[in-house]
Amino acid sequence: MSAGERLTDALYGLGWATVRKLPEPVAAGLGRRIADTAWKRRGQGVLRLEANLARVVPGASPERLAELSRAGMRSYMRYWMESFRLPSWSAERVGRSVDIKDLHHLTDGLAAGKGVVLALPHLANWDLAGVWATRVLGVPFTTVAERLKPESLYDRFVAYRESLGMEVLPHTGGAAFGALARRLRAGGLVCLVADRDLSASGVEVDFFGERARMPAGPALLAQHTGALLLSATLWYEDETTMSGRVYPPVGVPETGTRAEKTSSMTQALADAFADGIAEHPEDWHMLQRLWTADLDPAKGPK
């Protein structure tokens, strides 16, 4: 493990160990200060966030983009401050903090017993949404996690999410796909953050008027297992509440090759993601390259 990786692991460990013990106003204030400091430094992540937001809010002035990116960094740090504290939140607290609209699409799908794939973008706090599903709805689910460096940091994330009631599988291609398919055939719920392809070989979609790649997994799982495919978006309503919306099911096209069906279904997910992101761009935590025009083909997403 390099010195940088050891430092990263130590900092995250410090966050999990100490932030949850702080009074809530203190933790929230700390998050805002960290966000504002990072924003003022104009590092690579902030600049990339602004470049991404320029596509989401076309015609926005530099001042507007700076305003959005500052709000975006505060939203991103709110995600972290909340996530560090989630293990100590009661089910009652989680229930007060989350309001999901059109939930019947999810509950009806689960009641049908064929399994549900729920795809989300990097909006607001998807971990809080997961805790709400397990503790308030009483619905366990399976997800995947990107391999992080150092390995100890990945282990921290897995242990953290499993402590919240989630089953976490490593993002390892075919092995993960098979396990997810088994969960769906048993009538389970699979939740996937799916607005950025991690393999550089995903499905090309139109996203805010340009080409981007998104994972084929949600659409393929639905085709392979007969599970219902849903999308959802999240946003921070105010300082104490996160809202969300579940979109109507994405059907499997009746004609076309598997690749054509996958492309159509993934585009439907992208359209739903774009709808939610356009309404709440400040809550989209996309500090990496996403559109194909920005990617180095030799290196993939950064």
Q: Does 1 fall in a domain?
A: no
Q: Does 162 fall in a domain?
A: yes
Residue 3 has what pLDDT? 52
Q: Which pTM value belongs to this model?
A: 0.91
Q: Does 214 fall in a domain?
A: yes
Q: Does 57 fall in a domain?
A: no
Total domains in the fold of the chain: 1
Q: Does 180 fall in a domain?
A: yes
Average the pLDDT over 78-99 and give the result: 92
Tens-digit pLDDT profile for residues 109-158: 999 999 999 999 999 999 999 999 999 999 999 999 776 556 666 677 77
Q: How many CA atoms lie within 13 A of 125 on its CB side?
A: 30
Residue 299 has what pLDDT? 44
End-to-end CA distance of the chain: 21
What does the alpha-carbon distance between residue 137 and residue 152 come to, in Å, rounded to a whole number? 31
How does DSSP assign 100-134, residue by residue? EETTHHHHHHHHTTS-EEEEE-SBS-HHHHHHHII
Q: Does 73 fall in a domain?
A: no
| Inter-residue long-range contacts of 207-211, CB under 8 Å, 24+ positions, other chains counted | 207/270, 207/273, 207/274, 207/290, 207/291, 208/55, 208/56, 208/58, 208/274, 208/278, 209/55, 209/58, 210/55, 210/291, 210/292, 210/293, 211/291, 211/292, 211/293
pLDDT score of 1 more than 90: no
Q: Does 15 fall in a domain?
A: no
Q: Does 14 fall in a domain?
A: no
pLDDT band at 191 (very low <50, low <70, confident <90, very high): very high
* Residue 104: domain span: 91-294
Tens-digit pLDDT profile for residues 266-294: 999 999 999 999 999 999 999 999 999 99
